[in-house]
Amino acid sequence: MCGHPQKIEPRSGVAFTLKRGQRLTVIDPEGEQVADLVAFVRDDIDEVISSGRTIDYASRLFLTTGDPIYSNRSNVLLDIVEDTVGRHDFLLTPCSADTFRIIYGDEHPHRGCFGNLAAALEPYGIGPDRIPVAFNVFMHVAIDGTTGEIAVKPPLSRAGDRVVFEAKVDLIVGLTACSALQSNNYAFKPILYAIADPA
Ligand SMILES: [Zn+2]
C-alpha cells in the first residue's frame, strides 16, 4: 500500500512530483527531526502553499489531522490525513545561510533548508525567490499568547512518528531534513518519505 520509503540525508533536501490523490508520508525515523515541506501547483508554479491563508481559514496556529493547506489563491493543495504528533510549525521560513549568520553568528554558514530547497526545485524551474514559508513538519515553536514571543523547542516527535498528506491537485513538492541546530535538538538526522497511490 505504502511505497518504499526514500531517505533524505541529514541537512539535505529533495523535490518530486505528487499527483492528485496520492499520499505523501513524512516519517521521523529517529525522533526530534524537522522536515520543511513546500508545494507548488505543477501546471502553474505561481500557485503555492500559503501560511497566511491557511492559518487565517483554520483560525488556529497549530494544524493537524483534518486540516487543509491552502494556496495563495485559496485552493486546497494538501490535506493532512494522519498525524501522530500534532505539533508542527507554519510560521517560520526555511532555515538558510542568513538564518545561521544572523541567529547563530556562523562565519561560513550552511545553505540550510532554503538552499537545499532551491537546489532541489531548480530543475522544475522554481527559483529561490518563489520559496514560501514552509510547512515545517515536526517543528515545535512555543508561542507566548500575551507577548507573541516565540521560542524554538525540541520537536515532540519520537522515532517512527509520521504525518500523511493527500494531494488535492498535481504538485511539485520540496522536502528537507532540516539543517538548523535549535530546531532539531542539536543533532542532524535523516527524514524518510513515501508516496502511495490512491487506495
Ligand atoms: Zn531547516
pLDDT tens for residues 52-94?
A: 999 999 999 999 999 999 999 999 999 999 999 999 999 999 9
Residue 113 Cα to ligand 1 middle (Å): 4
What is the side-by-side strand order in the sheet with 23-28? 6-8, 191-196, 23-28, 161-167, 76-83, 68-70
- The label of the residue with cell 547563530 reads 104
Mean pLDDT of the 8-20 span: 98
The span from the CA of 126 to the CA of 130, in Å, is: 7
> What is the pLDDT of the chain when averaged over all its residues?
96
Which pLDDT score, from 0 to 100, does residue 4 have? 85
What is the tens place of the pLDDT at every residue in 17-49?
A: 999 999 999 999 999 999 999 999 999 999 999
* pLDDT of 185 higher than 90: yes
Which pLDDT score, from 0 to 100, does residue 1 have? 44
Mean pLDDT of the 133-155 span: 97
Tell whether the torsion through CA atoms of 92, 111, 35 and 50 is positive or negative. Answer: positive
* pLDDT of 104 higher than 90: no
Q: In this structure, which residues have their CB less than 5 angstroms from ion ligand 1?
A: 95, 113, 178-180
CA angle 38, 150, 133 (to 5 degrees): 15
* pLDDT of 160 higher than 50: yes
Distances (CA, A) of 8 to 59, 145, 151, 194: 32, 35, 26, 11
What is the tens place of the pLDDT at every residue in 51-63?
A: 999 999 999 999 9
Residue 46 Cα to ligand 1 middle (Å): 23
Which pLDDT score, from 0 to 100, does residue 2 have? 55
The answer to whether the predicted template modeling score (pTM) of the entire model surpasses 0.85 is yes
Residue 63 Cα to ligand 1 middle (Å): 19
Selection from 34, 9, 173, 47 nearest residue 90 by Cα: 34
Mean pLDDT of the 156-176 span: 98
Confidence band (pLDDT; 50, 70, 90) for 193?
Answer: very high
